[in-house]
Amino acid sequence: MNKSLNLQEVCILRDGAPLIEVDHTIHAGEVLSVMGPSGVGKSTLLSFITGTLPSAFKGMGRVLLDGSDITQKPPHARHVGILFQDDLLFPHMSVGANLAFGMHPGGSKSEKRAKIDASLRDVGLEGFADRDPATLSGGQKARVALMRMLLSNPRALLLDEAFSRLDADLRAQVRDLVFRTARERELPVLMVTHDAEDAKAAGGEIIELKDLRAC
Amino acid sequence: MLRFLPALTLLAMLGPVVAGLWGTLLPAFGHLPSAGLHGPSLDPFRNLFAWGGLADAARLSLTTGLVATALSLGIVALISASWSGTKAFRVLERLLSPLLSVPHAAAAFGLAFLIAPSGWVARLLSPALTGWERPPDFLILQDPLGLAMIAGLVVKEVPFLLLMTIAAIGQAQPRRSLLVAQSLGYGRVTGWLKTVFPRVYSQIRLPVYVVIAYSMSVVDVALILGPTTPPTLSVQIVKWMSDPDLSMRLTGAAAALLQLALVIGVLFFWWLGERFVAHFGSLWIMSGRRGQYDTPIRMFSLGLGSICALAVFLGIASLLVWSLAAFWSFPNVLPDEFTWRTWSKHGPDAFATFGETFLIAGIAVLLALILVLGCLEAEHRSGRPLSRRGLWMLYLPLLVPQTAFLPGLQTLLLSIGADVGRIPVIFAHLVFVLPYVFLSLGDPWRAWDARNAIVAGALGARPWAIFWRVRVPMLLRPILIATAVGIAVSVGQYLPTLLVGGGRVSTLTTEAVALASGGDRRAVGVYGLAQTLAALVPFTLAIVVPAVLWRNRRNLHE
């Protein structure tokens, strides 16, 4: 099977005027960085791929994931993981319940629990399953958010300014963890950022979006 | 299914209003087939205008509405200008917000117990300051000018408008404006009134209109505190509507249309007044005057706010004391003896009525929650927020005076042979519960970070799973608060219960108001207190339950 995220002549319009145009294939384990000033609609591109484009916008073109067209599928059936600049851990669930939220149903309780404990161990958070997310540090939350997304077995990964809230040290650490994991799991990654260093660390191709409205 | 909920909500909210107005219109022009009368004729209006008390009754409706609204708005504006953003303001906010849920009738009884000639105020001052050995012979309650009634309305409308103002202030970013004004040499009060108030007022306009319509046509407060010969127009409408002589209903219907016209006229007048104030306000702003009476104004407004809060708190305390009083001679501040006698006499009945009250409130609020949550979820999924017109629709049932359409609704129900009773009462309550639940829940619901839904969807959750497992638990607190608001609204309803229930459904409010004319203060104490508790307990639960449930979830605490 052809593992890739393929954006075919994607064009996003607002009030009939084109905002973004992208035509690109991201292969497994590769990172495509989309850069541009804020307000240019970078995040809109991601919401088109997750199937949550606000009604003020109109999207055209096709999104193929591993060769199959997901453009018309509902968000929950797309298998596209996304990380935002905020961790967005659900505040009413424990760390463990957050991880369980994305896991596929089925399997016994103890199997699930074992899987959660193992993945927490992987990111150096052993024994954190029953903690309140609010008591975690910024870096810890970022790792839990990454793990929660990975446990849902996504086939592509979207990053929406995912590292911009972290301070410099932590930022490099979390970034490396995310990119390394994506390579290991052969996930195509689409990253939206305004930070040149993020794009450089990603090591992949870079698209610079211009403000089409200004032309 | 979800797509039809907004339409269904509109139907539940506006259907009874439109049907009721229609049911008022026909008999007002002499058409009441069930009484063997066929129109059209202008006799009902001739009878109405032949009634000697009409001029006074109409004047009372105008003055109580305008004066109560202007006073409440003035007090709220002064308090906000003087104190918003300070510690004292937050204390006042905490004091006033529970008052919002106290039913109007209970607050009115409490006030009556305070200011009556034999009330607490007179007792406190006697005989040392006044020299009174016996209650003075003044007509303080039910005075012909309606001053007591205006006071009763003001103490309840100030908390309402103040909380609306606080919500509006949050969006207006007042700190920066005030800072700029102050650095230009403006006093705090003047600076706030000139820079923040115009934006805040445009946000609280509709609530102000609601206060006007309500104050002009309220029945329960008028029965307790208002004048009697003649009473206010709305009270007279209810009298005509409950007259055994069916033809009196025609006069009542004509009066209901007059009441509607009066409210529309006053709303238009107020709208003109807004233009007027805006014009002179901008001249005042252009004048560049910096203001120099800040300190006295701040003290004055704090005094007014405290009086409003104290009037309700002490009023409720006096309900409690009266319900426990044995013999209580004037001018003693406390009863000579306390007893449980009143509670053992009226307690069982009050408790049974408690059940009926909560049954009606519970079903009405449950229906309202289903409709409102459905509408909000539909709004979220379609990405189309409520329009300006939609907001007006929400306020419409609160802007049409109750006495204009509820009598018609009753007539209509009777004429189509539908049974009056509990179920129609529940739907009548729903008309008023729905807008308040919607207004209470709308803002927190929309303020929720929708990226949570995107993340949950990307994790494979279907829309309804996102709704139940993520959104509802995260918004549990505002949902419970909206529930408590809905219950308080339902508990406080007098006219819908009385008219649509056809006298066969009694809640704590109808029972309490029915006691008003009897003069048994001890019984009034029991029912007024029960009514207050019925509204306040849900509020307490709405705050306590999430705090306990999420005690280990720090980010859900404010």
Domain containing residue B445: CATH number: 1.10.3720.10
What lies within 8 Å, CB to CB, of A160 at 6+ separation is: A42, A43, A46, A82, A83, A84, A85, A192
**Subunit contact A90:B470, Cβ cutoff 8 A:** yes
- B2 and B56 inside one domain: no
Enumerate chain B positions whose Cβ falls within 8 A of a Cβ in A. 382-384, 449, 451-463, 465, 469-470, 473-474, 476, 550, 552-556
Residue A25 has pLDDT above 50, yes or no: yes
Could you tell me the mean pLDDT of each successive run of 10 residues in chain B, 558 residues long?
85 92 90 79 89 91 95 94 87 82 93 89 81 75 89 94 88 81 87 89 93 95 90 93 86 94 96 94 85 86 90 94 88 88 91 93 96 92 80 90 91 77 92 94 90 94 94 94 94 93 89 87 93 92 90 82
Nearest-angstrom CA–CA distance, A119 and B173: 44
B451, B460, B476 member nearest A84 (Cβ): B451
Structurally, at CATH architecture level, domain A4-79+154-214 sits in 3-Layer(aba) Sandwich (3.40)
DSSP B419: P
Classify residue B22 by burial, with Cβ atoms within 10 Å: 0-12, 13-18, 19+: middle
Structural domain boundaries, residue B155: 52-338
Please state, in angstroms and rounded to a whole number, the distance separating the CA atoms of residues B512 and B525. Answer: 9
When divided into structural domains, chain B yields a total of 2
Tell whether A139 is within 8 A of chain B (Cβ).
no
What pLDDT is stored for residue B558 in this prediction?
61
For residue B170, the model assigns a pLDDT of 77
* Whether residues B237 and B332 fall in one domain: yes
Question: Hey, where are the domains in chain A?
Answer: 4-79+154-214, 90-138+147-153
Q: In this predicted complex, what is the ipTM?
A: 0.92
Same domain membership, residue B96 and residue B2: no
> Does the distance separating the beta carbons of A55 and B451 come in below 8 Å?
no
Residues of A in contact with B448 (CB under 8 A): none
Terminal alpha carbon distance of chain B: 35
- pLDDT number for residue A215: 42
Which residue of chain A is at minimal alpha-carbon distance from B474?
A92
Concatenating the DSSP letter of every residue in B21-51 gives HHHHHHHHTT-BGGGTB----SHHHHHHHH-
Mean pLDDT estimate for chain A: 88
At which residue do the structure tokens 């704590």 appear? B508
Q: Looking at B338, B355, B380, which one is the last position of a domain?
A: B338
- Residue A135 has its nearest CB partner, among B474, B554, B556, at B554
Look at residue B160 and tell me if it is in a domain.
Answer: yes
Q: Are residues B430 and B477 in the same domain?
A: yes
Token duo for residue A131: 């903690």
Amino acid identity at A85? Q
Say how far residue B389 (Cα) sits from the centre of its chain.
Answer: 23
pTM (2 d.p.): 0.91
pLDDT given for residue B403 in this prediction = 93
The residue in chain A having the minimum alpha-carbon distance to the alpha carbon of residue B556 is: A91
Measure CB to CB from residue B454 to each of A77, A82, A152 and give the nearest one.
Answer: A82
Instruction: Tell me, yes or no, if A135 comes closer than 8 A to chain B by beta carbon.
Output: yes
Question: Crossing angle, helix B87-101 and helix B476-492, to 10 degrees?
Answer: 50
Q: Is B504 helix (H, G, I), strand (E, B) or coil?
A: coil
CA-nearest residue of chain A to B455? A82
Beta-carbon separation of B461 and A81 below 8 A:
no
From A74, A86, A132, residue closest to B554, measured CB to CB: A132
Q: How far apart are the CA of B477 and the nearest CA of chain A, in angstroms?
A: 12
Judge if B334 and B358 occupy the same domain.
no
* Structural domain includes residue B439: yes
Residue B18, exposed/middle/buried by CB under 10 A (0-12, 13-18, 19+)? middle
Position B37 scores a pLDDT of 79
**Does A39 touch chain B if contact means CB atoms closer than 8 Å?**
no
B313 lies in the same domain as B348: no
